[in-house]
Amino acid sequence: MRVTVIDYKAGNLASVLKALRHLGAEPVVTDGDLSLVDSAERIVLPGVGHFAATERLDSTGLTTAIRAAIARRVPFLGICVGMQWLYAGSSEAPDQPGLAHFSEGCTHFAESKEKVPHVGWNSLEVRKDSRLLAGVEPGEFVYFTHSYKAPVTVYTAAVTHYIESFASAVERANVMGVQFHPEKSGAAGLKILSNFLFWEGK
């Protein structure tokens, strides 16, 4: 199955592509060819690094194309900064708007004695009825690396605790996001990617 992977020059795509191929998908990468978004069967927006990098999505026209694809109910998965982009924005780059599919904003972890970034394996508290996280055991560990996070809301599919509770996964109809890196989270991560790939859009 074909998956359009968005390249906005924020970090390394190799791991995501490798995991998708491992699961039998055929990823095609676009950094500005909008026809690959217009014809997309599924879209993955990876991304590590700074929220400001998402400006490239606006300047290349990808934001508009992705918004239209989401409206056509194309399954969409945002990973890490790709999930944060689904929100109104992030205090990491206050002048750069997100897609605002979710109306809240992302914020930096509160000051505490704990280290920031949050790096390593932490557990998921999975909400009932999540399609993305179907079959994932309660308390399953996945790999995180981030300093900003999304708030827990009605669309939160999994909650993780570090300094405070934050949304480690979000899900609303065909739009899904994960703060952690499923491509780096062993068998649990592959299970989650596979749920996305084989979700039939019902």
Partner 1 sequence: MLTKRIIACLDVHDGRVVKGVQFVDLIDAGDPATQAARHAREGADEIVLLDITATHEGRQTLLDTVRRTARELFVPFCVGGGIRTADDAAQVFEAGADKVSVNSAALADPTLIAAIGRSFGAQAVVVAIDARRDPEAADPVRDAQVFVQGGRKPAGRRVVEWAREAEDRGAGEILLTSMNSDGMRTGFDCELTAAVSEAVGIPVIASGGAGTVDHFTDVFGRGKADAALAASIFHFGVSSARSLKEELAKAGVSVRLPC
Pick between residue 124 and residue 133 the one whose CB is nearest to partner 1: 124
Out of 117, 173, 198, 201, which residue is the one contacting partner 1 (CB under 8 A)?
117
**Residue 121 interacts with partner 1 (CB under 8 A): yes or no:** yes
Q: Cβ contacts of residue 51 below 8 Å, gap of 6+? A: 81, 84, 85, 89, 90, 92, 93, 96, 98, 106, 148
Count of other CB atoms within 10 angstroms of residue 47: 25
**Residue 143 interacts with partner 1 (CB under 8 A): yes or no:** yes
146 is an active site residue = no
**Residue 189 interacts with partner 1 (CB under 8 A): yes or no:** yes
| Amino acid residing at 76 | F
19-45 residues labelled b (16+ CB within 10 A) or e (exposed): bbeebebebeebebebebbeebebbbb
Pick between residue 100 and residue 190 the one whose CB is nearest to partner 1: 190
161 is an active site residue = no
- 97 vs 128: CA distance, rounded Å: 31
Pick between residue 25 and residue 175 the one whose CB is nearest to partner 1: 25
Q: Which of 80, 104, 118, 171 is catalytic?
A: 80
- 175's enclosing H/E stretch is strand 175-178
User: Interaction with partner 1 in 23-82: which residues (CB under 8 A)?
Assistant: 48-50
53-76 residues labelled b (16+ CB within 10 A) or e (exposed): bbbbbeebebbebbeebbeeebbb
Pick between residue 111 and residue 129 the one whose CB is nearest to partner 1: 111
Is the separation of the CB atoms in 188 and 136 below 8 Å? Answer: yes
CB of 119 to partner 1, least distance (A): 5
- Taking residues 146 to 185 in sequence order and writing x for each that binds partner 1 by CB under 8 A, - otherwise, the string is ---------------xx--------------------xxx
Residues known to be catalytic: 80, 181, 183
- What is the binding site for partner 1 (CB under 8 A)? 9-12, 14-15, 18-19, 22, 48-50, 115-123, 141, 143-145, 161-162, 183-187, 189-190
